[in-house]
Structure 1
Amino acid sequence: MLFWRDVSGVPNHYKKDETYHNIRKALGQVDVVDVDGGRVRVYVNADEPLQFTRRAGFANGDVIRVTLKYEDLHGYCFTSKRISHKEGTCHELSEGQREKNRLDRIEQKEKEERAMREAFSLTTRHAPERARSPG
């Protein structure tokens, strides 16, 4: 399967063709490199784990860690990082572990939503008052 991967964490002085070719070697078979867009299009084996971070080395000895985000990736197993199945059918988890992970994700999502609501309500409640003209 072909996926575009956004590559972030590349310092500006390394944003050149050589860098993305070094990164692509670590990613496997690459179809296209888009240096200006900071991304690569790669073939992904559905039976292999997805990679979300990689290190790239350079001739001068520098090593950087980059973060990879898959464009249009609609689902994968959070445990095995494979796109061949979802976590509900992952052979690496027991039924109890699947249920615990599901509940943990629900709880985490609720915490994030609550934090967003609280942050929004704080900004609207404590918005600075506009100066009034003497009247």
Structure 2
Amino acid sequence: MAVIFAGDNQAFEMHGARFTALVSPKRGSTRQSVWRVELAPGAPATLHQLTDEEVFVIQSGKARVSIGGSVTEAGAGDSIVVPKDTDFSIQTVGDVPLAALVCFPVGGRARLADGSEFTPPWAE
């Protein structure tokens, strides 16, 4: 069993977003990574794909979500399931920052529009 204390969380900044690692292999997990993402109002949406399914649970704010070209809005309490190998972007709607918890399998990778892939450092 691993207890991960909030004071030990590490934050990363990328594409106008803040990612705070909560659970990852470096923190004792073997199958899942969990992080908190915060998107400021006006932060650009970054189109990308994932090599595995990703799940968001919105904690606060409102999001405009594009999954496979279909666009919808979601808010606090809503969940978003992003299928693997599908174009995806998310951005804040309105003046309130968006905050969500995100779950992604260990070993999953993000694929940017230029074809480059990487493992998010907050998921390692």
The verdict on a shared fold, with TM-score over 0.5 as the criterion, is: no
Q: Greater share of helix residues, 1 or 2?
A: 1
The answer to which structure, 1 or 2, has the higher relative contact order (CA under 8 A, 6+ apart) is 2
What TM-score, normalized by structure 1, do the two folds share?
0.27
The structure richer in strand per residue is 2
